[in-house]
Amino acid sequence: MISQTIDHSETPLRLFKSDFLEFFTHIHPAVVLIIWVPVVLYGLIRGIFDWPAANKTIGILITFLIGLFIWTLAEYLLHRFLFHYHAKTPAMERVFFLFHGVHHAQPQCKTRLVMPPVVSIPLALLFYSLFQLFIGKLLGGGYLVGPLFSGFISGYLFYDMTHYATHHFPMRARVWKSLKRHHMRHHYKNPEMRFGVSSPLWDYIFDTMDE
């Protein structure tokens, strides 16, 4: 459920009576970098050691960029079909409000602008497992998994940092201003359109740009 009532204050809405549970609904963007930058570096280092001798540098770079590109599609699909899932019951509406609706209800809350680890870590493990299964096991490209996942997580980091910036930085340069305008239209004009945050590419492809 995406709330139609917008609270512009930065004082966070309380989601749980329990202080322990409430703690996990807040995160500073620096925590995202602390957790995931080492994962990016590990993936690249793994690629260096695992890659066959021929064309190592260019191969790792291309695989990294493919992972980055895969993230842009994952970002769009997750935002459109998971974060904006239309729940059928009050209980599920509550779950999806906690998941993403609270951000639409209070888009300027600084501690709820990046993905908390209780969400990002399970999702990352899911995608890593998929890469290992399809690329590593079925296609026999185990040496590809490290740099591919590194690129994927780099895309996620760019997404989360861009998302934070669109809500709290002026972003006056041409490209950044365009990204900010794109995301603000998602919040303040039509939350069922413009699902890309780090890139509008898939909104153009899937015709979710609105007028």
Number of domains present in the structure of the chain: 1
Q: What is the pLDDT of residue 84?
A: 92
In a domain, 173, yes or no: no
In a domain, 132, yes or no: yes
Q: Report the mean per-residue pLDDT for the chain.
A: 91
In a domain, 77, yes or no: yes
- Helix and strand numbers, DSSP H then E, in the chain: 9, 0
In a domain, 158, yes or no: no
Q: What are 36-58's pLDDT values in tens digits?
A: 999 999 999 999 999 987 789 99
In a domain, 3, yes or no: no
Q: What is the pLDDT of residue 145?
A: 96
Distance separating alpha carbons of residues 104 and 113, to the nearest angstrom = 10
In a domain, 48, yes or no: yes
Q: What size, in residues, is the chain? A: 211
In a domain, 109, yes or no: yes
Q: Tell me: pLDDT of 69 over 70.
A: yes
Distance separating alpha carbons of residues 3 and 170, to the nearest angstrom = 25
Q: What is the model's pTM?
A: 0.91
Query: In which domain, by residue range, is 93 found?
Result: 19-151
Non-local (6+) Cβ contacts of 106 within 8 A are 6, 7, 8, 9, 12, 13, 112
In a domain, 44, yes or no: yes
